[in-house]
Amino acid sequence: MASLVVAGVTLAAAVLAWGGLGWLILNVPPSRPLSILAAYVLSFVAITASGALLMWLVRRPRTVAGRLKSPARYLSHAMLLAVIALFALWLQTLHTLTPIVALLLFGLYAVLELAVLFGTRGSVELPMRH
């Protein structure tokens, strides 16, 4: 039950962030102070919440007892994706994002995900006594 509450909160965060970003783009000029910063913050929250929720829906992880696990476990992976995607967006605004740089950023994401995957294998979950 708690995982569904977390999923609902994550969905609400994603919807509100995408809606806020859409409103910001349509109603606030980029020359206004802090509008670009607000766009990056809303983009980060939107990408992170959407990515975590999408991955949770695709994988549907379950505990040993058969209950659904929380989508919060995918937030760190989605945050990494959001940081790299927003860095690519920033490079695009500077007109320095080339296909080679995009491939390097994709490779960086893959290497960091593999490092997290193999670096935490077996060390995250503690054995439980029954």
Tens of pLDDT along the chain (130 residues) come to 778 898 899 999 999 999 999 999 999 998 999 999 999 999 999 999 999 999 998 988 777 777 888 888 888 889 999 999 999 999 999 999 999 999 999 999 999 988 877 776 655 555 666 6
What six digits make up the tokens of 117?
Answer: 């995957």
In a domain, 126, yes or no: no
In a domain, 55, yes or no: yes
What six digits make up the tokens of 4?
Answer: 């569904």
Total structural domains in the chain?
1
In a domain, 124, yes or no: no
Q: Would you state the pLDDT for residue 35?
A: 93
What six digits make up the tokens of 97?
Answer: 């994002």
pTM of this prediction?
0.81
In a domain, 105, yes or no: yes
Q: Would you state the pLDDT for residue 102?
A: 93
In a domain, 50, yes or no: yes
Q: Would you state the pLDDT for residue 64?
A: 78
DSSP string, 44-90: HHHHHHHHHHHHHHHH--B-TTSPBPPGGGGHHHHHHHHHHHHHHHH
In a domain, 130, yes or no: no
What six digits make up the tokens of 86?
Answer: 């927003």
In a domain, 127, yes or no: no
| Domain that includes residue 73, residue range | 2-119
* Residue 101 DSSP class: H
Q: Would you state the pLDDT for residue 129?
A: 67
